[in-house]
């Protein structure tokens, strides 16, 4: 694990204890995906900006964030040209 990740883990542990009264098991946080998702999810909805940024960064490093937001599927309608001809018999001018 790199030095930046270790610093973030320490920051989240200390700030979460102060801001949320939440004890974090760092060993479990790094090895248990469900625990990490739960704890970092709680840490990311606080008013402390530093804690939120650190929690989101760790979620990204641990692969807990979605890769890309999913786009809604668009339904394309195919118009029948014969039906359109019958529907619009007269133009705007008669």
Radius of gyration over alpha carbons of the chain, in Å? 26
pLDDT at 40: 95
Give residue 36's domain range: 1-94
**What total number of domains does the chain contain?**
1
- Find tokens 């007269």 and name the residue: 90
21-53 pLDDT, tens digit per residue, is: 999 999 999 999 999 999 999 999 999 999 999
Of 1, 2, 16, which Cα lies nearest the Cα of 53?
Answer: 16
The more confidently predicted of residues 90 and 13 is: 13
């Amino acid at each position: 694990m790199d030095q930046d990740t270790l610093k973030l883990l320490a920051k989240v542990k200390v700030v979460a204890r102060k801001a949320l009264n939440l004890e974090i098991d760092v060993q479990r946080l790094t090895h248990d995906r469900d625990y990490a998702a739960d704890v970092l999810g709680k840490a990311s909805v606080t008013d402390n900006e530093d804690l939120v940024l650190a929690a989101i960064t760790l979620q990204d490093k641990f692969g807990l964030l979605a890769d890309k937001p999913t786009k809604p599927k668009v339904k394309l309608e195919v118009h029948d040209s014969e039906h359109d001809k019958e529907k619009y018999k007269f133009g705007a001018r008669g």
